[in-house]
Amino acid sequence: MKIKNFNTKKKILIVGEIGNNHEGSFKNAIKLINMAARAGVDAVKFQTFKTEKFISKLDKKNFKKFKKFEFSFDQFKKLKSFANKKKLLFISTPLDLDSAEFLIHNSDAIKVASSDNNFSLLHKKILETKKPMIISTGFLDSKETNKLIKDLLKIRKSNIAVLHCVACYPTDEKDVNMLSIKNIKDNHKVQFGYSDHTIGVEACLCAVSLGARVIEKHITLNKRFSNFRDHQLSADFEELKTLVYQIRKIENILGSQVKHLQKGEKEIIDVVRRKPFASKKISKKEKISEKNLNFLRSSKYNKIIDIDKIINKRSKKNFEVDQIVKY
């Protein structure tokens, strides 16, 4: 999956999920972007919506809450500009079709929430553009996840990332079921990752160790910022900074699937490889075997000898005790 110059095949994409933790304060949104940049993430993510096209007015409590959280499209343009100046990618989740149309032209990538992973009209609208799409799989079992991915790939073959997700807030450790991420990894040609709702960073690190290329973690200025549910499962600055550090460390440890001889190994390989030395005098034409050899390390001979080419062969010359036996 490529977002501008960011390729998740080369580097894990770490997304700081701001969501609605700004609680409608543009000033807090700027603070959260700043915090994310200082912690070292690669992208920030918001939710973009028009409340009247997202929540029924009959649901007065939720309508009032989300109306308070709502930013205008102009405010999102400013947030994108600020995030990009901080060298962060700007990602957002559209919660209505008008917001999706806006984000197609005013974001670096679009994230589809678990609640909308069955909203095919939204998927089609995004996929028919070149805009990178990230989608979470909360509320879906493995069979349904497979169907979702196949349906997405029928519309577009690339620039899609699918995130394992459990849509419980917070998610208990026993419910994470991280091994199911391998279903996406092993069966589909899409980038894959993990959208986290647990408390702590361990689940994210577990996902990285299993090969996740996108990690999304909620972030907050303060876990006790308010009674809004998302703050408690979000990472504050210190936790986010730790998460980024640990992911990059694991990323270095994981390396690539192709094993190469490392510089440090090359420097000592000649010393540690066994070499055949005569354990007793060996006469010309005598058979060379374990009975007249010792297999020793030696730093004085820098050429590796293939012992299999010597064993059970007739000697072409005489060898003294402790003399190396070459071809």
User: Is residue 259's pLDDT more than 70?
Assistant: yes
- The domain defined by 10-254 folds into TIM Barrel (3.20.20)
pLDDT of residue 172: 96
Could you tell me the pLDDT band of residue 5, with boundaries at 50, 70 and 90? low
Q: Name the average pLDDT for the chain.
A: 94
3-state SS track over 186-212: HHCCCEEEEEECCCCCHHHHHHHHCCC
pLDDT of residue 256: 86
User: Is residue 82's pLDDT more than 80?
Assistant: yes
Separation between Cα atoms, residue 153 and residue 160, nearest integer Å: 8
- Domain extent listing, the chain: 10-254, 260-327
Could you tell me the pLDDT band of residue 301, with boundaries at 50, 70 and 90? confident
pLDDT of residue 233: 87
The answer as to CATH 3.40.30.10 being correct for domain 260-327 is: no
R_g (Cα) of the chain, nearest Å = 29
- Judge whether 43 and 88 are in contact, CB under 8 Å: yes
pLDDT of residue 4: 66
Average pLDDT over residues 165-187: 95
Query: Among residues of the chain, what percentage have pLDDT more than 90?
Result: 89
What are the distances in angstroms from CA 51 to CA 3, 72, 80, 102, 270? 28, 11, 20, 15, 70
pLDDT of residue 210: 96
Lowest mean pLDDT among 33-37, 63-67, 123-127: 63-67
Average pLDDT over residues 198-208: 97
User: Is residue 46's pLDDT more than 90?
Assistant: yes
Cα dihedral across residues 69, 74, 78, 84: positive or negative? positive
pTM: 0.89
pLDDT of residue 117: 98
Amino acid at 239: E
3-class secondary structure, 11: coil
User: Is residue 294's pLDDT more than 90?
Assistant: yes
Tracing tokens 């694991």 back to the chain, one arrives at 250
Separation between Cα atoms, residue 135 and residue 274, nearest integer Å: 54
- Tell me: the pLDDT tens digits for 229-244? 788 889 999 999 999 9
Could you tell me the pLDDT band of residue 121, with boundaries at 50, 70 and 90? very high
Separation between Cα atoms, residue 217 and residue 15, nearest integer Å: 6
Separation between Cα atoms, residue 145 and residue 119, nearest integer Å: 14
Could you tell me the pLDDT band of residue 77, with boundaries at 50, 70 and 90? very high
Could you tell me the pLDDT band of residue 9, with boundaries at 50, 70 and 90? confident
Backbone angles phi and psi of 23, in degrees to 5: 55, 35
Question: Exposure string (b/e) for 57-81, b if CB count within 10 Å is 16 or more?
Answer: eeeeeebebbbebbbeeeebeebbe
Could you tell me the pLDDT band of residue 227, with boundaries at 50, 70 and 90? confident
pLDDT of residue 251: 95
